[in-house]
Structure 1
Amino acid sequence: MLLIIRTASIPGLENLLRHCDLPSYFTLLKDENCIQDFYIRETLAMTHASVLTLNTFEQLEPSIMTKLAAIFPQVYSIGPLHNLLKTIVTNNSSSPHEDDPM
């Protein structure tokens, strides 16, 4: 059965975000795509947010950051978060307190 694929565009980002840039689960033709539905609900809920925090940095995606800053009152780029893992000191304790012997 062929299903209609729901498509939408973000005002101002039409030429910056392509269909092929989306994760594969957005291109699956299924009756029920719970992952896609989850992201659609969360994206719509995001439009009501007072702050938007993104795992990127402005120099990497300046066009998108500029457009989002025009839409949302506060946009923060805090990434890339995976680089933070390189700076975390590992130890045998799962406690955030250094003096906690566990």
Structure 2
Amino acid sequence: MVVLAGGWLVWALLATAVAVRLYTAIARLMRWLASIHLPRSLQALTAAILGASAIAATATGTAHATPTHATATAYDPAPEALAVDLWRRLV
């Protein structure tokens, strides 16, 4: 029983060490990424392009047209009647 508890303790210590190492590596990476800044002119150009694309996307509406479905009315002949009529003309 003591060996089993010791085994769990070793695994817990190993998991804790890996978690601490990952935390410090991620914290160091985030500090390094926070120090990267775009030049002011490039920031302005990026903002202008993104703003223009956002305005253009909202001005045009949707990117694809919605299909219009034809609806049958009381005056439209049935498709079968048209096919029979066409067949009679051909024969």
Q: The TM-score by the shorter chain falls in which range?
A: under 0.3
**Greater fraction of residues in helix:** 2
With a CA cutoff of 8 Å and minimum separation of 6, indicate the structure with the bigger relative contact order.
1
**Greater fraction of residues in strand:** 1
Higher Cα Rg: structure 1 or 2? 2
